[in-house]
A = this chain, B = another copy of it.
Amino acid sequence: MELLKKKILEEGRVAPGGILKVDGFLNHRVDIALCNEIGKEFRRIFPEKNINKILTMEASGIGIACIAAQYFDNVPVVYAKKSASKNIDGEVYVSEVESYTRGNTNKVIVSKRYLSKEDNILIIDDFLAKGKALMGLIEIIKQADANIVGAGIVIEKGFQSGGKIIRDMGIRLESLAIIENMSENSLTFRE
């Protein structure tokens, strides 16, 4: 997605530790017009009529998923929560997710009320690196015995292992920008 790649080149920053910082438009300050273009692009890539739910991970996936859902006939967005809150009761699906950027492991949960085996789910998330968050969401969908239509990722770090692992699982994974190499001075995309 050219608009996204342009934005990454113009406004992204590579911080020490191999972290690509796109908090100016994606995951702290959110560019709403860009999210709409991202949503349209996900719809173009995933035209399947049976998608009836979008699943994402709090917090940084939520804005993108909610805007994108408007291009999927306003299907509901369910977001996995990172820790047990008093606000979720009853039965939940649970998986463990290691966070690359936070350096810890979280339980992520989804209420059983909101995922079922009748669902055809598109996963949307902002980043894919080692794939831990995405694998956590896939695990939850499997627990629900629901169908995974595919996973739409905004930015994939192609030089990390997550993309290959997920694709090797047979999941249809589509990333709008795949970074082939990056350093503090340069960043190139996979063609």
Contact = CB atoms under 8 A, between A and B. Distances in A.
Tell me how many chains of this kind the complex includes. 2
A27 B114 CA distance: 12
Interface residues of A, number: 45
Interface string A102-143: 110000001101100000000000000000000000000000
Contact of A62 (B62, B76, B110): B62
A149 interface: no
Given A21-B87, A29-B114, A30-B79, 13 more contacts: A23-B114, A24-B113, A28-B78, A28-B110, A29-B77, A30-B62, A32-B66, A32-B70, A35-B66, A58-B58, A59-B59, A63-B77, A86-B103
Interface of A: 15, 17, 19, 21, 23-24, 27-33, 35-36, 58-59, 62-63, 65-67, 69-70, 74-79, 81-83, 85-89, 101-103, 110-111, 113-114
